[in-house]
Amino acid sequence: MPISLIILAAGQGTRMNSDLPKVLHKVAGAPLLVHAMAAGAALAPDRTVVVAGHEAEQVRAATLAQDETALVVVQEEQLGTAHAVAQAAPALAGASGDAIVLYGDTPFIHADTLAAMIAARARHAVVVLGFQAQDPGRYGRLVTQGEMLERIVEFKDASPEERAITLCNSGVICADVQLLLTLVAAVGNANAAGEYYLTDIVALARARGLSAGVVLCPEAETMGVNTRAQLAGAEAAFQARARAEALENGVTLTAPETVFFALDTVVGRDAIIGPHVVFGPGVTVESGAEIRAYCHLEGCHISRGATVGPFARLRTGAELAEDVHVGNFVEIKNAILDEGVKVGHLTYLGDAHVGEHTNIGAGTITCNYDGVFKHHTEIGANAFIGSDTMLVAPVRIGTGAMTATGSVITRDVPDDALAIAREQQVIKPGFSRKFFDRLKAAKAAKGR
Ligand code: UD1
Ligand code: CA
């Protein structure tokens, strides 16, 4: 059955006290909105509609960066969650099957939970995701009678008896897509907030003799972000889960509480991650690779048997083949290192390709930027780059070639050649002694 995903992301998030719309604040390196989209994407939806409002253009850009097939509709005025869903109607014309409504500020709903809601649609026309709240606070309350969900009452509109209910509304709702659109069109705004509540569709469905039910999930999944403190709490919750999952999957974390993962980090079995390692977006670490302490990685791939760090920085486009060694204080950006390459110390490799088993000496720098353009450095296999070589790109070092320590290489080096590009050493006998004697004498004369 086809599935449509509707993600509500129009709110400003006033309590974030931010110029950035709330759904674009990040947890684990990804906007909150992207977390919701990723959970929904696991259902392989036919259509994904994001309802944007505040800073709609920024929200549109983030949506399309994640899924270029997603549709973005704009809710000009934020008149309530039912009104927000109604804005998706044109984008859902002709759609059939079920629709799931998610909130862009609720990042941790599991794909399995959404699948359970779809399954529960066999029993109910409208399925709501509920949870038992430790502190029900201002959540909407689920009013049930046996298995049947009768209605949802918002905190502002609830009686004292209703406020005593601890079964709360997560906000996630599933129903036939066309029924959902019919019901939201019928919602009014005669309530304490003067808003069009999506939650009213339950009572409307019941009034039509349709059944409604609740699927339960752990409260942790329904955690929403409204404040910076909650954003920090969401980050902590994400990291705690990601660390536990990594350990479960056979990854060694020497000090789990100091390692930070991104939403899309992939680490293979038997990889070893030392203390204080930070994964930005887009990192894959294959089985058996080792990342030593204090590394910062993003947009890179580390193959089996490679070792990285301590204190290394791998940036976007760093590709390390098997058994590559990258040591301390090395930065690599947009560079492919073939099998067995060694870059031990204090080096910058940017916009480069290094052939297999080449050794890069300490202090090597690819001078890849002329102030306007970036240029490529090509280093062949089995080459030896002497310590403190400046490779002024564009430049090519041949297979099996060598550069002398301290060279500034501005021209291509042929295969198997040695390039020396530095001053000849000059010896001046006795110079040092005479030089300092003169300076010391001058200082003594001044002191008198
Ligand atoms: C909503 C639910 C409440 C539930 C709670 C769970 C309603 C009426 N209430 O309340 O039952 O317990 O979520 O967190 O639905 N949004 C729009 N356009 C609007 C209004 C909201 O896109 O016009 C978006 C917001 O950006 C947000 C989401 O919808 O992502 C939820 O809106 P919010 O105002 O936070 O609803 P709550 O009052 O928290
Ligand atoms: Ca909310």
Query: What average pLDDT values come out for the chain (448 residues) when binned by 10 residues?
Result: 97 92 97 97 96 97 97 97 98 98 96 97 98 95 97 97 98 98 98 97 98 97 94 98 98 98 98 98 98 98 98 98 98 98 98 98 98 98 98 98 98 98 96 98 92
Contacting residues for 124 by C-beta, under 8 A, at least 6 apart: 149, 211, 212, 213
Q: Which of 22, 24, 81 to mutate to test the pocket of ligand 1 (most atoms within 8 A of CB)?
A: 81
Number of folded domains that form the chain: 2
For residues 182 and 309, membership in a common domain is answered with no
Q: Give the C-alpha separation, 72 to 52, whole Å.
A: 7
For residue 436, tell me if it sits in a domain.
no
For residues 133 and 258, membership in a common domain is answered with no
For residues 313 and 200, membership in a common domain is answered with no
For residues 244 and 369, membership in a common domain is answered with yes
For residue 434, tell me if it sits in a domain.
no
For residue 444, tell me if it sits in a domain.
no
Give the distance (Å) from ligand 2 centre to CA of residue 292: 40
**Helix 111-120 and helix 32-41, axial crossing angle in degrees, nearest 10:** 50
For residues 253 and 378, membership in a common domain is answered with yes
> For ligand 1, atom 32, which residue shows the shortest CA distance?
81
Q: Please report the pLDDT score of residue 360 as a whole number.
A: 98
Among the bound ligands, the one closest to the CA of 138: 1
Contact in structure between 91 and 47 (CB atoms under 8 Å): yes
For residues 263 and 191, membership in a common domain is answered with no
Q: Which residues does ligand 1 sit against, CB inside 6 Å? A: 8-11, 51, 53, 75, 78-81, 83-84, 103-105, 139-140, 152, 154, 168-171, 197-199, 224
Q: Look up the domain containing 21 and give its range.
A: 3-222
DSSP state of 24: G
Domain boundary (222, 243, 277) is at 222
Q: Give the C-alpha separation, 59 to 66, whole Å.
A: 11
Phi, psi of 283 (to 5 degrees): -110, 135
For residue 435, tell me if it sits in a domain.
no
Among the bound ligands, the one closest to the CA of 13: 1
**Active-site residue, 375 included:** no
Domain boundary (222, 245, 272) is at 222
CATH number for position 86: 3.90.550.10
Contact in structure between 428 and 412 (CB atoms under 8 Å): no
Q: Is residue 439 helix, strand or coil?
A: helix
For residues 213 and 232, membership in a common domain is answered with no
> For ligand 1, atom 25, which residue shows the shortest CA distance?
11
- Residue labelled with tokens 């069109």: 185
For residues 181 and 318, membership in a common domain is answered with no
For residues 37 and 117, membership in a common domain is answered with yes
Nearest ligand 1 atom to alpha carbon 8: 22
For residue 374, tell me if it sits in a domain.
yes
For residues 266 and 186, membership in a common domain is answered with no
For residues 234 and 217, membership in a common domain is answered with no
DSSP state of 134: S
Q: Give the C-alpha separation, 357 to 172, whole Å.
A: 54
> For ligand 1, atom 38, which residue shows the shortest CA distance?
139
Domain boundary (222, 244, 279) is at 222
Q: Give the C-alpha separation, 32 to 231, whole Å.
A: 9
Q: Give the C-alpha separation, 410 to 377, whole Å.
A: 11
Give the distance (Å) from ligand 2 centre to CA of residue 226: 6
For residue 428, tell me if it sits in a domain.
no
Q: Give the C-alpha separation, 135 to 347, whole Å.
A: 53
For residues 397 and 299, membership in a common domain is answered with yes
CB-based neighbours (< 5 A) of ligand 2, an ion: 224
Instruction: Tell the burial category of 231 from Cβ atoms under 10 Å away from its Cβ (0-12, 13-18, 19+).
Output: buried
Among the bound ligands, the one closest to the CA of 133: 1
Give the distance (Å) from ligand 1 centre to CA of residue 81: 6
Nearest ligand 1 atom to alpha carbon 77: 23
Residue 425 has which token pair?
């050493």
Nearest ligand 1 atom to alpha carbon 11: 26
Instruction: Compute CA distances 431 → 437, 439, 445, whole Å.
Output: 10, 13, 22
Give the distance (Å) from ligand 1 centre to CA of residue 7: 11
For residue 427, tell me if it sits in a domain.
no
Q: Please report the pLDDT score of residue 448 as a whole number.
A: 79
Residue 263 has which token pair?
């939403």
Contacting residues for 421 by C-beta, under 8 A, at least 6 apart: 403, 404, 407, 408, 409, 410
For residue 148, tell me if it sits in a domain.
yes
CATH number for position 257: 2.160.10.10
Longest Cα–Cα distance in the chain: 108
> For ligand 1, atom 29, which residue shows the shortest CA distance?
8
